[in-house]
Structure 1
Amino acid sequence: MMGGSTFTRHREIAWRGGRATPTSRLVAEESAVALTYNGSTHAVMMGTPADLEDFGVGFSLTEGIIGRASEIGSIELISNELGMEVRMWLDGDRASTLAA
């Protein structure tokens, strides 16, 4: 995980027992998450900035971009003002079929 907590506490007023009561609740933070392969963006979606390496591997497997996790040579997590990037570099044959 990068960048601290993935939740923000929001203060609010709740109506309970016939009266207004100060309270708060945790709300999941979301940001744009770009999934890139060998330098090219494949998809951008909203997500919590936690467990992004696992998210990148799972997305890649589900979408058929890779057949097994070992086809990902490296994963970098890049944070910028627009959100997060899960930068994945594919090994061998997978890299050449992605470019085709």
Structure 2
Amino acid sequence: MPIMTADKVAKKEKMTIYDSIDDDVLQSYTEYSLTSLLYYALKECAVSEQSSRMTAMDGASKNAGEMISKLQMQFNRTRQAVITRELIEIISGAAAV
């Protein structure tokens, strides 16, 4: 981000097309330019941080979804194994009688 002094701005090619520029106007312009550049830098920093947070949360959400799916599958298989074992015990007991 180029920051220019009032002298540099006054000597710029595009500024010399005007007949005369008051020192107050030139000073106001340079102050406004500096303020705008600082505001832009701060906003860009805030947006960058927000974007990083959103990306991190998206990744965390996807990982949590995968983890839930794996745990649900493990729970279902364990439950199915318990039911199967109980059925085998019932059938074995009925066959013994």
TM-score category of the 2 structures, normalised to the smaller one: under 0.3
**Higher Cα Rg, which structure:** 2
Q: Which has the higher contact order (CA 8 A, sep 6+)?
A: 1
| Structure with more strand by fraction | 1
TM-score (normalizing by structure 2): 0.23
TM-score (normalizing by structure 1)? 0.22
